[in-house]
Structure 1
Amino acid sequence: MNMVAPRSSLRIRLLAGTLVWITASIIVAGWGLRSLFQQHVEAQFHAELKTHLDQLTAQLTLDSRGHASLALPLSDPRLSRPYSGCYWQIDQTHDGMPPETGVLRSRSLWDHVLATPPDTPADGEIHQHRIIGPEGKMLGMVERSVRIDDTPDGKSRSFRLIAAADESLMTEPVSRFSGALWLALGVLGGGLVIAALVQVFIGLAPLRKLHTALGKVQSGEMQHLDGDFPAEIMPLVDQFNAVLVQNAEVVERARTQAGNLAHALKTPLSVLSNAALAPDARDSALSRLVIDQVGTARRQLDYHLARAQAAATALIPGTRTPLSPIIDGLVRTMRHIHADRQLALTVMPVSPSLAFRGEPQDLQEMLGNLLDNACKWAAHQVEISARCEGGNLRILIDDDGTGLAAEQREAVIQRGVRADEQVPGSGLGLAIVDDLARLYGGRVELADSPLGGLRAVLILPVAQ
């Protein structure tokens, strides 16, 4: 399995960008909503304290002895429940004297007196502070100074009115809201991530379809890209198909030109050969030289023509040649050519699905040479088998001949080298096979045969 670097994967880049944006958006949204809610709760908290302070100011009165009292109790029932978290207190201030704290207190303070800051606000001003209250809890507090001049005893008095509440009444709702908010945003983020995954999967589906189609073209199942693709991809598909058509035309022209060249050269060579074989020139040294060189030229021409045709077609996508019909045709031909030797040519069962990723004429050229060599060297039997192994097509041709020594096997594949000069041949067969196989990314291997002779193994790319 090929490992794809994150930077080169379009899927990973799209998902990474989407996930970063979703994460950043959720964090910013969560922080912003929490801040807004916290500001709202703090505003409500201090507004409620100011309401208590206004009620306290409105109900403050003096009795006949000049002592502070409330005309009516405040409306919030929490002020009557001990340590409920809501409190009020009235301190009396004296000019030049320390303030008298806790002159009046809410029942909720019970036996506790609020320790207020030393600075006293001016008349009518409202100050906000944080102080420690009952049970060591932090309180938020607002205070106001009130001066009463019209008193029963004719003396003016100043009072410090305080309303306070436990800050947990403010922080706990914010904490609960934050938990619910992050849970909701987490669910929303998860949904967005799933949506992004689905979107990327669906959005890139045409590319996967295109990849599958390209694989079929390469394996020979299709000659061109076919399918219904989105408008953004269709220009690429059309241009790729146009390149395939153009490439096929170039290959066909190359084949035609190679054939024309071969025909043009073979005719003069035949004229030279016929002239050298004329009765009046047959026994001369020049005649023998001409015949020898004409034979060499023909062998070279056949070799390079086969190689050029294979080189033109080896890398063309979409070529696929079933193996079984080619083997059956060649075996029938070899039985006819070597009929006088009474050879037993056995073809082991070949799967109908096995196919060569290449041109039929190239497969015929390679198998034909190997089969012909096997028939020339076999004593009585030649066996052909084929299988798919390791993603390659392996065609095995065994004979029961004399075989070859290990040190000779590399040499006979070289162009022009023959294992036995007494056996007819040019010495180019195995070289052509090896060159053609390598052009397709394959090779030829020689080994000992279970039949006692030589085994030729032709390894070629398999068409899926």
Structure 2
Amino acid sequence: MRRIATSLRLRLLFGTLLWIVVSIAATGWLLQQMFSDHLARQFDHELNIHLNQLAASIEFDVAGNLSVQPLSDPRLQQPYSGLYWQIDALPGPGTRAQNALRRSRSLWDSRLQAQADQLGDGELHTHQITGPNGETLRLNERIFRLEERPQQPLRLLVAANEQWLQQPLQALRAPLFGSLGVLACGLLLAAFFQVWAGLRPLSRLRRELSTLREGGRSTLGRDHPAEIQPLVDELNTVLQNNSEFAERARLQAGNLAHAVKTPLAVMANAAQAEDTSLGHLIREQVAIASAEIDRHLNRARSAARARHAPGRCAVKPLAEGLVRVMQKVHGERALDFNIQLSDSLEFRGQAEDLQEMLGNLIDNASKWARQRVSIRAGQELGRDYLDIDDDGPGIPETQRPLVLQRGRRADEQTPGSGLGLAIVDDLANQCGCRLELLSSPEQGCRARLWLAPRSSAQPAG
């Protein structure tokens, strides 16, 4: 029931199914009841015809003896046929009661045992009695008086086997319920189609949102049904506002970078001329401050980008460009850079974010590598990852969580602020990625960057 309560499709189908079942059941019961009532009226009408024929066939001779002319229905002549008549004499002035004064041949040597009843002249009563063979009979009776003998009231009884009434009803049930079953199946199929067709625009909207999240489009379509289009328009407005907000955030981040880093650059240049411990301290602190500013600005820009639909970028061209830069930065060491990436590999996000993360990882590997830096791609459980390997001294397993903290370095003698891996780790979390430090087969360190899953939303950081 919990699943039905949380699923619009199941709620619609369950409600429709319940209504169809109740309606079909009520319709079947009502039709059967109407047909049963119609058969009962027809059955009673036929018994009344026999009563009228019986009344018309009664005669008294001059001696006062009662005689009955044969009735037209041949069943009345066949013993125990199921159709019977009987005439009882009721007590009157100068007359006495006599049961079964006359009876049909079909009764043979039996009698209709009708219950005592108070009948008025012209009244018609209907009863159920037991027949000569133990069957249930439907009996109609009335009082009859001949004009020439009004002092002699007669009780006329006509009865028929009630099974004749039930047989047509039983014969109707199979085709009736079969037809209603076919109707119910047709209505269920129509309900399934109606729910499918009614919810199809929502499935389309979900696909558009998935494509938008993965960077395949920037807005939702404008040709949805009239009931959904207002919601789509509101979503498009939100997306546009978020895009404008992100653009302003980038602009403000750039302005802040220029406003803060320019005085720091002046301080760094002035400290270059001071070959003293104070000058060395200033240069070191300026470098730390610049790196910290870069870290927070990158985080702000990434958070702003995460507010609107991410794009896509090919990984291989971006990695090749970063390697060309590193070859110049570390040119004096003649490092061997090996790139093994597929042309079809894509990063679901902003190219600036991947460039920031991959650039820091390649730069860190270049600082520690002796001769070789490798960049490879792989996949595990449907999720892509990038491995950046170096053949340097590596990082002990106990120190790997520490180097991801701000300002912490595995070797304090190596130049740097200790913020590179921390920046990558923060940015990766914001982009739906994950950074993992492992041991490299080349005896150095392996930095594994898990890319964002293909169907996951980018976290807002």
TM-score, length-scaled by structure 2? 0.92
Structure 1 unmatched ranges of 5 or more:
none
* Counterpart selection for 1:411 from 385, 389, 402: 402
Indicate whether 1:230 and 2:225 are aligned. Answer: yes
Q: Name the CA distance, whole Å, in 1 between partners of 2:172 and 2:371.
A: 93
Q: Name the CA distance, whole Å, in 2 between partners of 1:76 and 1:290.
A: 129
Which residue number corresponds to residue 450 of structure 2? 459
Which residue number corresponds to residue 342 of structure 1? 334
When the two chains are superposed, the root-mean-square deviation of aligned CA atoms in Å is 2.3
Cα offset for 1:103? 2.8
Q: Name the CA distance, whole Å, in 1 between partners of 2:252 and 2:39.
A: 90
Cα offset for 1:397? 1.1
* Counterpart selection for 1:323 from 297, 315, 328: 315
Indicate whether 1:103 and 2:95 are aligned. Answer: no
After TM superposition, the structure 1 stretch with the greater mean CA deviation from structure 2, 371-380 or 58-67, is 58-67
Q: Map Cα deviations across residues 36-71 of structure 1 (whole Å, 9 max, x no partner).
A: 221111111111111110110011012344322223
Q: Name the CA distance, whole Å, in 1 between partners of 2:140 and 2:179.
A: 35
Amino acid corresponding to residue 73 of structure 2 in structure 1: D
Indicate whether 1:240 and 2:232 are aligned. Answer: no
Q: Name the CA distance, whole Å, in 2 between partners of 1:98 and 1:171.
A: 39
Cα offset for 1:25? 1.7
Which residue number corresponds to residue 436 of structure 2? 445
Which residue number corresponds to residue 183 of structure 2? 188
Counterpart contact for 1:315–1:440, Cα < 8 Å = no
Cα offset for 1:227? 6.1
* Counterpart selection for 2:116 from 115, 118, 125: 118
Amino acid corresponding to residue 422 of structure 1 in structure 2: Q
* Counterpart selection for 2:388 from 382, 387, 397: 397
Cα offset for 1:414? 1.3
Q: Within 5 Å, which residues of 2 pair with 1:14-413?
A: 14-71=12-69, 73-95=70-92, 99-119=97-117, 121-148=119-146, 150=148, 157-226=152-221, 228-278=223-273, 282-283=274-275, 286-350=278-342, 352-413=343-404
Q: Name the CA distance, whole Å, in 1 between partners of 2:346 and 2:405.
A: 28
Cα offset for 1:365? 0.8
Q: Name the CA distance, whole Å, in 2 between partners of 1:286 and 1:98.
A: 147
Q: Name the CA distance, whole Å, in 1 between partners of 2:213 and 2:10.
A: 26
Counterpart contact for 2:222–2:232, Cα < 8 Å = no
Counterpart contact for 2:242–2:307, Cα < 8 Å = no
Cα offset for 1:4? 7.8
Amino acid corresponding to residue 414 of structure 1 in structure 2: Q
* Change in CA separation of 1:268 and 1:149 when aligned onto 2, cut-off 3 Å: closer
Amino acid corresponding to residue 335 of structure 2 in structure 1: L
Counterpart contact for 1:437–1:444, Cα < 8 Å = yes
Cα offset for 1:283? 4.4
Residue-pair matches, total: 454
Structure 2 unmatched ranges of 5 or more:
456-461
Q: Name the CA distance, whole Å, in 2 between partners of 1:24 and 1:385.
A: 64
Counterpart contact for 2:80–2:107, Cα < 8 Å = yes
Q: Name the CA distance, whole Å, in 1 between partners of 2:147 and 2:237.
A: 104
Cα offset for 1:287? 4.0
Q: Map Cα deviations across residues 395-435 of structure 1 (whole Å, 9 max, x no partner).
A: 11112211121111111111111222333322111010111
Cα offset for 1:149? 6.7
Q: What SS is found at the alignment partner of 1:461?
A: coil
After TM superposition, the structure 1 stretch with the greater mean CA deviation from structure 2, 259-268 or 376-385, is 376-385
Amino acid corresponding to residue 124 of structure 1 in structure 2: G
Cα offset for 1:289? 4.2
